[in-house]
Amino acid sequence: MTHNIFYEITQKKDGDTDGIHDIEAYVAEIVNDDYSEENSSRNEDPSRIAAIELDYMTNYTVKMLSHILDYYKLSKRKLNKTEMVQIIVIFEDDPTNEVIVATRRQLWKYIERLREDEYLSKFVIFDGV
């Protein structure tokens, strides 16, 4: 699913306090635009959680899941793959974690794009994507 992002850059005048000063508020604004469809359907489809769990179980290695848990600052101590997936899904499904989840997904996409680039792929050493 692709989303168009529209933005406007304006010169800030001295003493102008309008606008976003907090980076988390800025990211939250972007996330609300990008994930409004996903959030509006939250809890309406009971198979959504099962589909996300299946995706993590089949398309991610334990090492990749470990990187995700590390990014979210969640403990991965003595967890098997199924437990890792369940913790990630619960964390990502919580609306209070929306900003960090969207940020992680976007950064992972950036890493993947860098790995696909002929020149820059030589410099990417992250193996969790």
* C-beta separation of 33 from 93 below 8 A: no
Rounded distance between C-alpha atoms, residue 97 and residue 87, angstroms: 13
List, for residues 46-92, the tens digit of each pLDDT value.
688 999 999 999 999 999 999 999 999 999 889 999 999 999 999 99
Question: How is residue 110 annotated by DSSP?
Answer: H
Consecutive H or E run containing 119 = none
**Residue in this structure with the two tokens 């972007």, named with its chain if needed:** 30
List, for residues 3-50, the tens digit of each pLDDT value.
667 667 766 666 555 554 555 565 566 555 545 445 544 555 668 899
Q: Tell me what the mean pLDDT of segment 100-111 comes to.
A: 94
Sorted by where each begins, the domain ranges of the chain are 46-116
What's the pTM? 0.64
* C-beta separation of 57 from 51 below 8 A: no
What was the pLDDT predicted at 13? Answer: 65
* C-beta separation of 102 from 34 below 8 A: yes
What was the pLDDT predicted at 125? Answer: 86
